[in-house]
Chains A and B, each alone.
Chain A
């Protein structure tokens, strides 16, 4: 071993992490080279001095300060969480209200059956004439009354409005541009699988709840959904396009 290698080994020798062979070589050189021997002694002295550095006590009030900061940080986290929950609740309420308003406009508010066009027209007319306060809230009180009534059976509504449940869906559209081609495009865009189609319907393969959610979301943009099939949890869903005035 030469002096250069010796330098590299000094530290490892002190920490006793050299292999037996390296240790022997190291000790061999140590006997022959007084300069390297001195270096080893100095390094040993240095290491023992560093090890003797005393641990210092914590500064006054360190723990109290830290605990205050931690509690502050937790409050902040809770506050942020509450804010987030509040914001989400707001979004849900707005969404539900919008849905409810939409339903009210086109149905009688209790029965979700789609009505013939004349009846809708009549209904709309009567709403705008005398039942404004009952159905279309203009003020905040009205809005909150609407929300409260919705919240009562929120579970129900959430369950029924977020996904397609059965294997047969009718979609009532006002827009004559919505055709099976539109549905096919939607199927492709959402990574769903198209099985069959004809002049007014498509059949889509369903592989999970996620697909049912997507389908609901997309269809609800196009028109009013009626989930009328009897087979729940089937792997296929047939969607029939119906015109609202039909």
Chain B
């Protein structure tokens, strides 16, 4: 039995110390997941704390045949989606969040990424911004695949969708990001030239 399983078993028997050790194994990952989902440190902090509290309160519902990591990421995803829905209700009329229908971003020119014009740090903050603007399932798939290195199968389990959907979500999300980033980098380049 590995350490994760042992800690889960103890936690399920009501051992809070064991659960706190589980928290230490996953808190940085879950915080960073929430951070990439929201691109906002303060929101990510609140959400990540909420994720662990929810997990603690619902530990009795954890099925031992699945992995704790999968379960905790699932809770994180659901918590971020709830948060996104709440915020969207507030923001939608003012700030158009890129949604499935309007996610096609026009490409002004087929030029390659004009990266040499952009300082590295700013380039990363542009990517983070673009990721955070995707719809939740797309960005979640991208974050889990490219930042947290999960396999397609594991992502399917976490998001509770078929593996074929994961494949098409990731393809679509990458295509959208490529186009969005290209146009953002071009805008940025033009501003710098002026």
Query: Does A17 lie within 8 Å of B152, measured CB to CB?
Result: yes
Contact of B27 among A35, A56, A62 (CB under 8 A): A62
A35-B110, A63-B24, A66-B49 are contacts. A17–B36 as well, Cβ < 8 Å? no
Interface of B is mostly: helix
Q: Which residues in window 29-44 of A have CB below 8 A to B?
A: 35, 38-39, 41-43
Number of A-B pairs, beta carbon distance below 8 Å: 102
Q: Give the chain B neighbours of A67 by CB distance below 8 A.
A: 20, 23
Contact of A196 with B by CB under 8 A: no
Q: Of B147, B152, B174, which is in contact with the most chain A CB atoms at under 10 Å from its CB? A: B174
Query: Does B16 lie within 8 Å of A10, measured CB to CB?
Result: no
Query: Does A42 lie within 8 Å of B145, measured CB to CB?
Result: no
A43-B174, A69-B53, A73-B53 are contacts. A53–B112 as well, Cβ < 8 Å? no
A66-B52, A73-B56 are contacts. A50–B45 as well, Cβ < 8 Å? no
Query: Does A58 lie within 8 Å of B31, measured CB to CB?
Result: yes
A40-57 interface code vs B (CB 8 A; 1 in, 0 out): 011101110111110111
Taking the nearest CB of chain B, how far is it from the CB of A8, in angstroms? 6
CA distance A97 to B110 in the complex (A): 86
Q: Which residues in window 157-178 of B have CB below 8 A to A?
A: 167-168, 170-171, 174-175, 177-178
A7-B175, A55-B28 are contacts. A17–B167 as well, Cβ < 8 Å? yes
Query: Does A70 lie within 8 Å of B181, measured CB to CB?
Result: no
Contact of A71 with B by CB under 8 A: yes
Query: Does B23 lie within 8 Å of A63, measured CB to CB?
Result: yes
A11-B170, A46-B181 are contacts. A58–B28 as well, Cβ < 8 Å? yes
Q: Give the chain B neighbours of A39 by CB distance below 8 A.
A: 178
Contact of A195 with B by CB under 8 A: no
Contact of A12 with B by CB under 8 A: yes
CA distance A38 to B128 in the complex (A): 23
Q: Give the chain A neighbours of B142 by CB distance below 8 A.
A: 50
Contact of B131 with A by CB under 8 A: yes
Taking the nearest CB of chain A, how far is it from the CB of B105, in angstroms? 14
CA distance A10 to B172 in the complex (A): 10
Q: Give the chain B neighbours of A77 by CB distance below 8 A.
A: 57
Q: Can you list 25 residue pairs at the A/B interface with Cβ under 8 Å? A: A8-B168, A10-B175, A12-B171, A17-B167, A35-B110, A42-B112, A42-B178, A42-B182, A43-B178, A46-B181, A50-B142, A50-B146, A53-B124, A53-B127, A55-B28, A55-B32, A56-B32, A58-B27, A62-B27, A63-B23, A66-B52, A66-B53, A70-B23, A73-B53, A73-B57
The 3 closest A-B pairs by CB, nearest first: A11-B171, A50-B146, A11-B174
Chain B residues within CB distance 8 Å of chain A: 16, 19-20, 23-24, 27-28, 31-32, 35-36, 41, 45, 48-49, 52-53, 56-57, 110, 112-113, 115, 123-124, 127-128, 131, 142, 145-147, 152, 167-168, 170-171, 174-175, 177-178, 181-182
Chain A residues within CB distance 8 Å of chain B: 7-8, 10-12, 15, 17, 35, 38-39, 41-43, 45-47, 49-53, 55-59, 62-63, 65-67, 69-71, 73-74, 77
- Beyond A62-B45, A73-B53, 6 extra complex contacts between A and B, CB < 8 Å: A10-B171, A55-B32, A57-B28, A58-B28, A59-B41, A63-B23
